[in-house]
Structure 1
């Protein structure tokens, strides 16, 4: 076997372990990664407790450094394992992985920046597959497709809600006035948003009978408005096909969620198994 073929062979194996969860080694790697992320987050949380940090600061610091070094090695391995490293480096997960690795190093320059390692919680998005959720990947993709298809309708709906809040806020400003806490139209619009979303902080509330009537109508209206985006997305979901997919990632472009038994990448056309 030539050196180039050997090079492709170990890179392909490394890619399967790091980027896929359909193999035993890939699952073990993801379990280790999951454990490291959880441990790292716990260490940061414990360090924020002053009494605990005073007693075990050295242990916590060493623990964070060990995990940071492991994540650094993993980040480099992810770059090596693919044909086009820039695809990974500038991808969503690539940026998250980098942000999860840098804070501890930045602590040499910016004091307290190591607490940003809590960003590692976002890395849990990558390892959901180890919890035997692979069979739901198709359903999650279906939801994403439905949300994308609904974005125009949702945008129109949100624009309508904003206009409605401005109108209702202006009306309440005229009805209640500054003496009842509605000191300006922006503040009144803020009250309308809080009321329409049924949050109700209670820092501003109407005192007059007419204002209370309008507030009651807004609150009831809020329950109906909350359900609209759900209906929009649900209607789009019924139009999409639920195709079985797996966790296999393309070694060329990193696209995942390919159909079962797929030979070529649906995005770039590259061979999935070399």
Structure 2
């Protein structure tokens, strides 16, 4: 039973695809998730939904059954995860069920079962949760995993920036409300109503449906617009900086593995396969990987040559005691060629 559970974990866990069955299941799940998102979109078209309602329902039932089996299998085999220390049979599985990806797996199948159990409440609004199935693709996309990694790493900075932005929205809404309420009581009827104008103005969208007409209101709007330029752009800057740093860290990780592989000066077939798997897992292009490999090989060859020349100089000095000018001239020529 333990062997079957370990095999199930290795097949379902992305990044550990030593089994052909695992790669086939990955492709099948990616296709099924993509079709689910497409069908949810097509269902909103009355002309298509009316004629194919039965097929849509059958596909939904099939998808939910597949995703349910996948979820149960992931929870059952979660105790085989050495990195996350889920070895305890009960609490290990509970910890896994509380991870973000496991929660997404649960949420995307939950509306279907709730609609079968709860009949007195209209749960059609929960059908929109099926679109969350697109987030299941995060397991199979290095770009999406990189985004989640950056969001997690920069969560404190982004939270601080969003808090400052939220405070600025409240201040801007309050100021414009007191400046424009008497002149436009219907438009700026309250501070919450004025928040729509604040958000549209601070994000530089400017729909023009709500505008200040008083002199004080226009002055406030000008000040708020200028102040908000940097504040609104701050989260985007943090994300861009986080992406850049994450990409540099991935390149450094790949470079370290390349340095280990070229210690003997040659990259054999086993090392090449391992480097290729690491490249795919880190989301590094073939061109970048080839550039890193060649740069490190050239650096390794140069270091080896300098080391060999230094050893040669020591051997010549020890044997000839500087009595052979021709040998010294030859060594100096090699040193100049090496530079």
As a proportion of its length, which structure holds more helix?
2
Distance 1:116 1:217, change over 3 A: same
Q: Partners in 1 of 2:35 and 2:128 — Cα distance? A: 11
Decide whether the 8 Å contact of 1:197 with 1:226 is kept in 2.
yes
Kept in 1: contact 2:12–2:22 (CA 8 A): yes
* Aligned match for 1:57, one of 53, 56, 59: 53
Post-superposition offset of 1:206: 1.0
TM-score (normalizing by structure 1)? 0.68
Aligned pairs for 1:63-82 (under 5 A) are 63-82=59-78
Residue number in structure 2 paired with 1:172: 176
- 8 Å contact kept, 2:180–2:213: yes
- Corresponding residue to 2:205 among 181, 199, 203: 199
Q: Closer, same or farther in 2 for the Cα pair 1:26/1:123, shift >3 Å?
A: farther
Name the counterpart of 2:232: 226
Deviation, structure 1 residue 69: 1.6
- With 8-17 and 221-230 compared, the bigger mean Cα shift is at 221-230
Which of these two proteins has the greater Rg computed from alpha carbons? 2
The answer to whether the 8 Å contact 1:100/1:117 transfers is no
Q: CA RMSD in A?
A: 3.4
The residue number in structure 2 matching 1:257 is: none
1:8 maps to which residue?
A: 2
1:94 corresponds to 2:102: yes
Shift of 1:231: 4.1
Alignment counterpart, residue 127 of structure 1, candidates 137, 146, 151: 137
Give TM-score scaled by structure 2 length.
Answer: 0.57
Alpha-carbon contact 1:173-1:188 (below 8 Å) kept: yes
Asked whether the equivalents of residues 21 and 30 of structure 1 are also in contact (C-alpha less than 8 Å), the reply is: no
Q: For 1:115 and 1:192, how far apart are their aligned partners in 2? A: 29
The partner residue of 2:222 within 196, 209, 216 is 216
Segments of structure 2 that go 5 or more residues without pairing to the other structure are 80-91, 255-277, 279-339
Highest relative contact order (Cα 8 Å, sep 6+), 1 or 2? 1
Question: Residue 106 of structure 1 corresponds to which residue in structure 2?
Answer: 114
- Does the 8 A contact of 2:212 with 2:221 survive in 1? yes
